[in-house]
Amino acid sequence: MPAKVRGASGGVNWRRLAIRLHLWGGLLTGPFLLVLGLSGAALVFRTEIESLESATPAVASSGPGAPSLDAIVGIARTRHPTAEPYALRIPSAPGRPYRVELRAGRQHLEIAVDPSTLQIVGGRAAERSVMVAVRSLHAGLHAGRLGAVVVGLLGLWLVVESLTGLWLCWPSVRRRPRVAGGAPIERVGSRGLHRLVGGASLALGVVITLTGVVLALGSVLAPAGASPSPARTVSGLSRLDVIAARAAASLPGAKITALIARDSDAVRVETTAGAVIVDRETGHVARAPSSETRLGVCDWIARLHYGDFAGWVSRVAYALVGLGLCLLSITGYLITAQRTSGPS
């Protein structure tokens, strides 16, 4: 149905409606979208930022034999005797400490241990991490499930903003004068930058937005106790040397990167070749990596939302889209200010 022309009687002027939706929707949601864009761009590089945040001194050179994993966990527990360990992270490069993750009540702790000297070389509370705060801001504006609902609704509205912006921009692009054999000429200024950034980030931005909506609303609909709590594990990280040996035997040549307490009687062993589930008491390999490491739908949606699928190329592209969202919010306000103050 063609949009009603200006001045005609009856019907709905769809273009005018789109202009008002794009204008007022952008003015109301602009500050929130600015926050989501900045926090999303930071989360793309969350691993690198967290490594800088929790940087510890280089450890001593490893001895001739492999360090005892049980001894490393035991040393970490001496710092917090009442805390329960639920994960052991093994560094990918030499000269870095092993990291033991513990839980004491609602507090998550991370202790860095030198595997050669069995000395504690660092420690921190995960809740005090900058990236934990940024992640909470991005996922729910620090407002729990209600905030996640707001983020989901903001994502849906951002799709509306994208589609109305494309529709409103398209006629002016077609009418704009062209250079010989080139693209339409855009005036320099806030309006031109707004159109340029919006058009360049439209496709990828819609993908990021829709996957973010699914993740936000999924976290709201998920049962409160859906995530397994490390506090329910009892001595979940005992017999790690036996478990690591069994896992290494089942995946020859693979390097173990983490051991995570899965429940009261099993440990998930993550390796460079996949993951296996090992019985904590018997050391029996309970599940092969082919079935346990297969990514589910939610995993793929999360990877698609964070850009974790094509290395640095996708991550840089996603960060640029996040920064582009910030530019769209800022230039949108500048365009509105220019319109209200008269012609520029």
Q: Which pLDDT tens digit goes with each residue over 205-226?
A: 999 999 999 999 998 987 655 4
SS3 271: strand
Are 268 and 275 in contact by the 8 Å Cβ rule? The answer is yes
Are 25 and 336 in contact by the 8 Å Cβ rule? The answer is no
What's the CA gap between 150 and 170, in Å, rounded? 30
Nearest Cα neighbor of 254 from 269, 265, 268 is: 269
What's the CA gap between 295 and 28, in Å, rounded? 38
**Residues 81-122: tens digit of each pLDDT:** 888 999 999 987 777 889 999 988 878 888 989 988 889 888
Does the pLDDT value for residue 69 go beyond 60?
Answer: yes
Does the pLDDT value for residue 265 go beyond 90?
Answer: no
Nearest Cα neighbor of 19 from 335, 283, 302 is: 335
pLDDT band at 232 (very low <50, low <70, confident <90, very high): very low
Neighbour order of strands in the sheet with 256-263: 119-125, 107-114, 98-104, 84-89, 256-263, 266-271, 274-279, 285-287
Residues 298-334 as b/e (b if ≥16 CB within 10 A, e otherwise) read eeebbebbbbeeeeeebbebbbbbbbbbbbbbebbbb
Nearest Cα neighbor of 25 from 161, 227, 195 is: 161
Are 327 and 197 in contact by the 8 Å Cβ rule? The answer is yes
User: How far from each other are the two terminal CA atoms of the chain, in whole angstroms?
Assistant: 35
What's the CA gap between 82 and 105, in Å, rounded? 9
What's the CA gap between 75 and 148, in Å, rounded? 39
Does the pLDDT value for residue 134 go beyond 90?
Answer: yes
In this prediction, residues 43-54 reach a mean pLDDT of 82
**Residues 273-332: tens digit of each pLDDT:** 878 888 877 778 866 545 444 456 777 898 899 998 888 999 999 999 999 999 999 999
Are 142 and 136 in contact by the 8 Å Cβ rule? The answer is yes
pLDDT at 123: 83
What's the CA gap between 26 and 287, in Å, rounded? 50
What's the CA gap between 292 and 269, in Å, rounded? 11
Q: How far is CA 185 from the centre of its chain?
A: 37
pLDDT at 186: 47
SS3 161: helix
pLDDT at 188: 56
In this prediction, residues 261-276 reach a mean pLDDT of 82
**Given phi > 0 = left and psi -120 to 50 = alpha, else beta, which region is 49?**
alpha
What are the tokens at 101?
A: 């993750």
Mean pLDDT (the chain) is 82
How far lies 202's CA from each of 37, 162, 163, 189, 207, in Å? Answer: 14, 7, 9, 20, 9
What's the CA gap between 180 and 113, in Å, rounded? 66
Write down the domain spans for the chain.
14-47+133-176+184-225+313-341, 55-128+236-279
Are 148 and 142 in contact by the 8 Å Cβ rule? The answer is no
pLDDT at 9: 53
Question: Beta strands of 65-210 (E only): which ranges?
Answer: 84-89, 98-104, 107-114, 119-125
pLDDT at 274: 78
